[in-house]
Structure 1
Amino acid sequence: MNATAIGLPLEGITVVDLTRVLAGPMCTQTLGDLGARVIKVEQPEVGDDSRAIGPFVDGTSAYFMSVNRNKESIALHLKADADRQIFESLLAKADVLVENYRPGTMEKLGYGWDELHARFPKLIFVSISGFGQTGPYREKPAYDMVVQAMSGMMSVTGSADSGPCRVGVSIGDLGAGLYAVIGTQSALLRRARTGQGERVDVSMLDCQMALLENPVARLSATGSVPGPIGSRHPSMAPFDVYAAQDGWFVIAVGSDVLFKKLCGLLELPDLAADPRFTTNAERCKHQAELKVLLEECLVLQPRAHWLRIFSDHGVPTGEYHSVAEAVAHPQIAARGMMASVQAPGGAELRVASNPLMAGLGADSVVRRNPPALDGDRERILRDFVDAA
């Protein structure tokens, strides 16, 4: 995709962003990356809650900066008549409204789906909440940790010795934000056919359940409750993290043919003929013994030795990286997956780019730095209120 030559896919789409913290801002940042004009409506004086979450760069939250590029900011008090008029002027020209308040909040403000659809029939109304707009838990508050725990995500993360373990990133928020992007784009496509906006109801808990593809299917197929198994795969072996002489790396063998090739490269022909390991099903039953035998060989050479041999012969493998090593990797650089944003004071922060824009370079992704609170008021009023 050549963004300069053909334009970004969501150019011409205007999004009013009533979101804060992570799930909603991830959704609207992605829409902004893809070309939408995103107007972030924030609470006067304090703004998005994440503006107060550290660490800070030149007085600005790195958390906030990581999910709020390509947006403009205006501060509005939605219970004040003058600010409500401005907000409604935004909605009159917007294509999408995204909010992540607790269900019922928008109705109390007078901006529920029924009211807004009657006034702005083409407006797409995207709601992201912990449990969705229906069901017995709809009004309960939720954070990422809550839905990770309730969905069973934590129960299959970590090891048998670790106890309940949260996924290392806020997958509850991020999953909901990305599903909300899909829902928004689907609603835009449908509106192109029908001329009507629609309600998109995204539940963080629903999204966690959708991401539990293998555990849910395994429970249904076997009747046994999946539990934490560390880094290995429940249905394939060897498929795990292994120790070489100087550090960890991964081997991911998904077939009997690949296993025989692996044994040949390790010069372990007896392993391939061992009845415990001749089929994937048997290897899964005896994965602990297999790991011990493999590592007895792997620790004799440094990681780079095995990575080179396995890669040259088509055995899926990869380095184990810290975050610092990952962001410095040449493949990440080649794909343009690191970008820079600036705080209002000028300090720079390196952040993850957008994988949908991979190959275009960081300059194509960051068109606007994360906004200062109310920093775009004059422009927004000129475009949406004065021009009305």
Structure 2
Amino acid sequence: MSHTPPPAAPSTTAKALKPLRGVRVLSLALNLPGPAALMRLKAMGATCLKAEPPGPKGAPAGTSGDPMGQYNATAYTTLHDGIKLVTLDLKTEQGQQKLHKELARTDLLLTSFRPSALAKLGLGWKALHKAYPALSVVAIVGAPGPRAEEPGHDLTYLADAGLVTGLDLPATLFADMGGSLMASEAALKAVLTQKTRGKGSFQEVALSDAAAWLALPRSWGLTQPQGAVGGAHAGYRIYPCKDGRVAVAALEPHFAAALCAAAGVPVAGMATLFQPATHKAIAHFLAGQTRRQLDKLAQVQDIPLHTLAH
């Protein structure tokens, strides 16, 4: 179908169900994964508070201490819609006092610092668990276990997982967003554990693990060039059309048959879709069609495709 901008935060199910109603979440997590996870927890009904460090020295009053607020105001605003924000300097005694006042009434703490930084702030798991036995912690780190001190970002984790090809940057921040989903999943796990065992738990979420999870289809060969959804199947590719591009996802036999019929390609079993002649014939057919013609074809013949501008 024709391209339309996606909604800012598609979350119909999350809006309808509020399984975390009554759960209090405090986040110290900055940048993207933590705030994205917090946004999802709020959508599930949690009462969410985020504590941010003071803004950079010399910055205008009210400047966020979260780097996201400094380099992308749109993303920051969307992520924190409806989230209560407070500024806390955890390196000061006053900031620590305010933090622990909040921790005393918090069910779940979300962090994104390296373990050594948390230890310096007195926020290591052992110390927190001793002071607040019912408190759970979801700690977002770059890599698991002893590698948690290593510097890294979305791009390096994707590269390590084999998800960076060529010199183009990935289309989105897959590890960060995948990590936010894993963090919200870990939060649900922690809440369920607290309800059944009566005490808090520690959950570590590594962005490198999120990248590795997303990379599984590639490791199985599915998205490799010889794989069915990596370009080898003529019904699952991106082709040029007369006034743009078309993403064709006619993978299942009945969809592939409909595509081949439209292109005038005889089908003799699934092997036909992997033959160079089939690729050439379908490419030739699509190149002669406009986006409007292809949108109509998709509707009439029930073919999964999505047209795009150049």
TM-score bucket of the superposed structures, by smaller chain: 0.7 to 0.9
Aligned to 2:153: 143
Aligned to 2:283: 295
Match of 1:83 among 88, 95, 116: 95
- After superposition, the Cα gap between the structure-2 partners of 1:321 and 1:35, relative to the gap in structure 1 and judged at 3 Å, is farther
- After superposition, the Cα gap between the structure-2 partners of 1:90 and 1:153, relative to the gap in structure 1 and judged at 3 Å, is same
CA contact 2:235–2:259 (8 Å) conserved in 1: no
Instruction: Output aligned runs, 1:219-238, within 5 Å.
Output: 233-234=230-231, 236-238=233-235
Aligned to 1:108: 120
Q: Helix, strand or coil for the counterpart of 2:220?
A: helix
Q: Which amino acid aligns with 1:142?
A: G
Aligned to 1:49: 67
Aligned to 2:38: 28
Match of 1:310 among 291, 298, 303: 298
Q: Which amino acid aligns with 1:184?
A: A
Tell me by how many angstroms 1:296 deviates: 1.9
TM-score for both structures, normalised by structure 2: 0.84
Tell me by how many angstroms 1:283 deviates: 2.6
CA distance in 2, matches of 1:51, 1:143: 18
1:247 to 2:247 alignment: no
Aligned to 2:273: 283
Q: Helix, strand or coil for the counterpart of 1:74?
A: strand
Aligned to 1:370: none
Tell me by how many angstroms 1:228 deviates: 6.4
CA distance in 1, matches of 2:13, 2:176: 30
CA distance in 2, matches of 1:299, 1:216: 32
Q: Which runs of 5+ in 1 are unaligned?
A: 55-60, 156-162, 220-225, 323-388
Q: Helix, strand or coil for the counterpart of 1:304?
A: helix
CA distance in 2, matches of 1:3, 1:152: 32
- After superposition, the Cα gap between the structure-2 partners of 1:299 and 1:101, relative to the gap in structure 1 and judged at 3 Å, is same
- After superposition, the Cα gap between the structure-2 partners of 1:201 and 1:254, relative to the gap in structure 1 and judged at 3 Å, is same
Aligned to 2:81: 69
Identity %: 24
CA contact 1:239–1:253 (8 Å) conserved in 2: yes
Tell me by how many angstroms 1:149 deviates: 1.2
CA offsets per residue over residues 106-134 of structure 1, 9 Å max, x none?
112111101111111111101001112x1
Q: Which amino acid aligns with 2:286?
A: L
CA contact 2:298–2:305 (8 Å) conserved in 1: yes
Aligned to 1:128: 140
Instruction: Output aligned runs, 1:188-199, within 5 Å.
Output: 188-199=191-202
Tell me by how many angstroms 1:208 deviates: 0.4
Q: Which amino acid aligns with 2:51?
A: V
Q: Which amino acid aligns with 2:126?
A: D
Tell me by how many angstroms 1:100 deviates: 0.3
CA contact 2:25–2:47 (8 Å) conserved in 1: yes
How many positions carry a matched residue from both structures?
A: 291
CA offsets per residue over residues 243-278 of structure 1, 9 Å max, x none?
232221222122334333322233x1xx224xxxx3
CA distance in 2, matches of 1:244, 1:81: 64
Tell me by how many angstroms 1:52 deviates: 1.7
CA contact 2:234–2:282 (8 Å) conserved in 1: no
Q: Which runs of 5+ in 2 are unaligned?
A: 1-11, 57-64
CA offsets per residue over residues 46-76 of structure 1, 9 Å max, x none?
411222214xxxxxx2232132222111111
CA contact 1:102–1:141 (8 Å) conserved in 2: no
Q: Which amino acid aligns with 1:150?
A: D
Tell me by how many angstroms 1:231 deviates: 11
Q: Which amino acid aligns with 1:283?
A: L
Aligned to 1:258: 255
Aligned to 1:170: 173
Instruction: Output aligned runs, 1:336-375, within 5 Å.
Output: none
- After superposition, the Cα gap between the structure-2 partners of 1:96 and 1:235, relative to the gap in structure 1 and judged at 3 Å, is farther
Aligned to 1:118: 130
CA contact 2:244–2:309 (8 Å) conserved in 1: no
- After superposition, the Cα gap between the structure-2 partners of 1:7 and 1:261, relative to the gap in structure 1 and judged at 3 Å, is closer
CA distance in 2, matches of 1:209, 1:7: 30
TM-score for both structures, normalised by structure 1: 0.68
